[in-house]
Amino acid sequence: MYGMMDIELAKERRRELIEEAEGMRLARIAGAAGAEKRVGTGIGVRWGMAADEEAVADLLQLNGMPRWVAFEERFIVAEKDERLLGAVRYRTESKRLLLGLLVVDPWEGERRTARALYSGAVGLARDLGASEVLAESVTGADYPGEAGYWRAGRGWRIPVSSEGGGGRVGFWRALVHLLGTKAALPFYRIPRRGR
């Protein structure tokens, strides 16, 4: 009986060590000061640090969610002029960056901040070595679609190019999305002869 409990404790400790190592790897990639990716609106997008937990907790409370989530999850944050504007929860899988809960300061412009977060997440995923980014659907809004993501089931998906040349494709997809039409391949019917 005690042998099974020891195995479970060892598995739990191993999982904690792997999560800690992954966090240290992310911090090393992001740099000591937190590498920022500037998006066209002047909003900087970077990995969340321990110092951001209080500000993320305030954002969660502003959006009617419990503060404790900020201390148990990892976030990608958007800031402008040293002020936190929004955050999106993330987790990593093998070669994937998974984006979840989006919280934004309601007085700072939700659409602009959300687009900056989703666009900046692609650059951070590229630095991480991920091959794609998956985002959960945001209720009542298509912010990932405006940032160049494709609809995939209930969520959104965008491949990450290693050389960074896929930015224009995202621009055109965002433009088509803003015009209100869905980008789709035309289906042609091949006429048959003799009938």
Reading the block at residue 9, the tokens are 């404790």
- Residue 30: predicted pLDDT: 57
6 pLDDT higher than 60: yes
pLDDT tens digit sequence for 90-148: 999 888 999 998 999 888 888 889 999 999 999 999 888 888 999 987 777 788 888 88
pLDDT tens digit sequence for 152-168: 888 898 988 765 544 44
Which residue, 68, 57, 147, 143, is CA-closest to 105?
Answer: 57
Quote the CA–CA distance of 33 and 49 in Å, as a whole number.
9
186 pLDDT higher than 50: no
Half-sphere exposure of 186 (CA within 13 A, CB side): 3
Model confidence band, residue 194 (pLDDT cutoffs 50, 70, 90): low
93-107: b (≥16 Cβ within 10 Å) or e: eeebbbbebbbbbee
39-48: b (≥16 Cβ within 10 Å) or e: beeebbbbbb
pLDDT tens digit sequence for 65-90: 888 888 888 999 999 888 899 999 99
Helices (H) and strands (E) in the chain, counts: 6, 8
Quote the CA–CA distance of 39 and 78 in Å, as a whole number.
10
- Residue 193: predicted pLDDT: 65
- Residue 188: predicted pLDDT: 41
With contact defined as beta carbons under 8 Å apart, do 117 and 78 qualify?
A: yes
CA dihedral 142, 138, 119, 18 (to 10 degrees): -160
**Which residues partner with 74 through β-bridges?**
90
pLDDT tens digit sequence for 35-72: 455 555 688 999 998 888 999 999 988 888 888 888 88
The values of phi and psi at residue 96, to 5°, are -135, 145
- Residue 73: predicted pLDDT: 87
- Residue 43: predicted pLDDT: 87
Quote the CA–CA distance of 113 and 102 in Å, as a whole number.
10
- Residue 163: predicted pLDDT: 57
Quote the CA–CA distance of 57 and 71 in Å, as a whole number.
8
Output the pTM of the full model: 0.65
Which residue, 39, 129, 136, is CA-closest to 93?
Answer: 129
Which residue, 124, 180, 169, 179, is CA-closest to 147?
Answer: 169
